[in-house]
A and B are shown apart, each in its own frame.
Chain A
Amino acid sequence: MSILTNRHDFLLLFEVTNGNPNGDPDAGNMPRIDPNTNRGIVTDVCLKRKIRNFVELFPPARESDTANDFKILIKQGAVIETEQKPAITAAKDKDNITHLIGSSEAEKAKNWLCREFFDVRTFGGVLSTGDDIMKGSAFGQVRGPVQFSFGQSVDRITPLEISITRCAVTAEKDKGKERTMGNKHIVPYALYVAKGYVSPSFAERTGFTQADLDLFFQALSRMFEHDRSAARGEMIVRGIYDFEHVGTHAGATDEEQKKQNLRESKLGCAHAHTLFEGIRVRLKDGKEFPESFVDYEVVNQWTDATLPKGVRLHLRHEA
């Protein structure tokens, strides 16, 4: 499969109903909130965790021993401890690693990590290196092509603290009580927007392919479906607006134009902020507090005619 060549800027819209999308350990696991604006926040690491868990649950079949694999290197600790998962086996067959290119063993190892692990190839990672040539060089840090921002709620949120009775007590000393009181936090309703970017310059270095990107968007649209929990309430993806920079000479047959298009699609054809500003999310008239998604109006001003030349918009949530 081919290495990703086009730049992507995407917006992710997701909602929570009666749940806690991302707890804040600083505030007793209350939903994250920015005290300056009262808008809710979901961190980048929270979203990346869900992508990793999805790919771990549904890894695509590896095409060949030297093709990209879909293992996950950074796992959620708790899951590993409770479930006995089959251990990851390394490429024992020597033939499979001789295909790796690299000017040194450290570079080969870096390329091997990227080939075997979907998350290293996608999000990057930090390598510690004793090699003097590599120290302080670009090989010490794998920068992944996919980048997430913090998700922010469109409007202010009102987190509630809910008291619950637990009929399963936690501490041995409370055995006689049969049930204890507990509490959890919920956001009655909120719509969040997160921004994301895919830089093909880094895809070249980690071997991130078009197939990897398709899997990434599949994970993005389905990640909450496999992450259900009483604490998280109901979380639904409401939109993935993916702007693909295809280049102004897309489909050209002329060699010179093809080359130019390759450069253009990698660097992009428009400002990311202009593209994002074309998707407006606002509360419908007469509404002060959102109660469900129907209270919102998502206006997509982009049509094939108005989109900047060389940019295509994919509505990944409709796929």
Chain B
Amino acid sequence: MIKDNRITLRVWGDFACFTRPEMKVERVSYPVITPSAARGILEAVYWEPEMYYLIDTIHVVKRGVWFSTRRNEVTAVISDKSAQSWMNGTVEVKPIQAGGGAADGTQRNMLALRDVEYLITAEVKLTQLADRASCNIGKYLGQIKRRASSGKCFHRPCMGVREFDAFFDYEEDPVTAFDRRKEELAATGNPLSSIKYEPLGLMLYDVFDYRLFEKGFKWLTPEAITATREQFEQSLSGLKKGEKTKRLQEYNADPSHLFAGKKITPRPSFFQAEINNNIVRCHPDDTPVLIQDDTEGK
């Protein structure tokens, strides 16, 4: 029985790194999963442009232990401008030289977690793109349940970074699941870490403004793009040639004909996180989310 459009997934993995934005060169993880990482896991399993997730609660089953590792990483990124000149043959391809001591490589440390397990409960909501009668919430809830309980996923979910793979399973109810896991873990001699109260401080809520999720976003198919372009060209038929070219240029320069909904740019938001009886509450209705002012850059 799905209550209040809320679904729960049990996720676990050998390693996890939920990078703090203030320390992302030498990565340092938050002590527990962030709501945006939890959203990423759910979206790896199931996502449609007509719906979105708001993470409601996170039950910490295994909080894990700290673990540090230093690896060779690549510092260089491929700029699209150089890729274009390589492609056109005007400039010779310059490979990236990786490895410690090489020009494009460096050693970086990572402070991560080992052996974690969470119960992620999320509210499923419809976006404004769900304008057809067939887009009812029950359909999406059913889909998520079928996918998660049979192990299907769009791509392999991860615990913050892609090399830390995550396993998942569907749970009917987080409270029952938590109690069950508590018993199961007690039997293994490695009991669940009981956390009565622990303030975690300011924690990343999401890299996007969650209030804009309800607008929805999807890239249009090439057929749909051609169709709208043809329609637009027809609407210009009465105009003079110069005016027509100008309007067409404007149309092409504006990317909004390529997608439906709203393309949102990253804008970090934070919340005061705390663990109460192993639960982190993070639904925006319960916990105020602090969003960076959007007047910047306008």
Chain A residues with a Cβ under 8 A of chain B: 9, 24-26, 32, 34, 36, 41, 43-45, 49, 71-78, 80, 87-94, 97, 100, 103, 105-106, 108-110, 112-113, 125-137, 143, 147-150, 152, 195, 197, 199, 201-202, 264, 267-274
Q: Does the CB pair B84–A44 fall under 8 Å? A: no
A-B CB contact pairs (8 Å), 16 listed? A24-B69, A26-B70, A26-B109, A72-B95, A73-B95, A78-B101, A89-B93, A90-B86, A91-B87, A91-B89, A97-B87, A126-B77, A126-B78, A149-B164, A150-B164, A268-B152
Which among A43, A267, A268 is the interface contact of B71 at CB below 8 angstroms?
A43
Q: How close is A154's CB to chain B, nearest CB, in angstroms?
A: 13
Q: What chain B residues lie within 8 Å of A147 (beta carbons)?
A: 156, 158, 162-163, 165
Within 8 A of A (CB), among B83-112: 83-84, 86-89, 91-93, 95-105, 107, 109
Q: Does the CB pair A36–B67 fall under 8 Å? A: yes
CA distance A125 to B82 in the complex (A): 15
Q: Does the CB pair A128–B109 fall under 8 Å? A: no
Q: What chain A residues lie within 8 Å of B74 (beta carbons)?
A: 74
Q: What chain B residues lie within 8 Å of A91 (beta carbons)?
A: 87, 89
Q: How close is A33's CB to chain B, nearest CB, in angstroms?
A: 10
Find the B residue at minimum CB distance from A79.
Answer: B99
Q: How close is A48's CB to chain B, nearest CB, in angstroms?
A: 9
Q: What chain B residues lie within 8 Å of A109 (beta carbons)?
A: 80, 83-84, 86-87
CA distance A269 to B146 in the complex (A): 11
Apart from A26-B68, A89-B93, A100-B87, list 20 A-B contacts with CB within 8 A.
A25-B70, A49-B98, A75-B96, A87-B93, A103-B225, A106-B80, A109-B83, A113-B78, A126-B77, A127-B83, A132-B255, A147-B162, A147-B163, A149-B163, A149-B165, A197-B165, A199-B154, A199-B155, A267-B154, A268-B153
Q: What chain A residues lie within 8 Å of B152 (beta carbons)?
A: 264, 267-269
CA distance A106 to B84 in the complex (A): 7
Q: Does the CB pair B156–A45 fall under 8 Å? A: no
Q: Is the interface of B mostly helix, strand, loop or mixed?
A: mixed
Which among B65, B80, B114 is the interface contact of A129 at CB below 8 angstroms?
B80
Q: Does the CB pair B150–A41 fall under 8 Å? A: no
State whether the Cβ of B184 lies closer than 8 Å to any Cβ in chain A: no
Find the A residue at minimum CB distance from B84.
Answer: A109
Q: What chain A residues lie within 8 Å of B109 (beta carbons)?
A: 26
Q: What chain B residues lie within 8 Å of A32 (beta carbons)?
A: 69
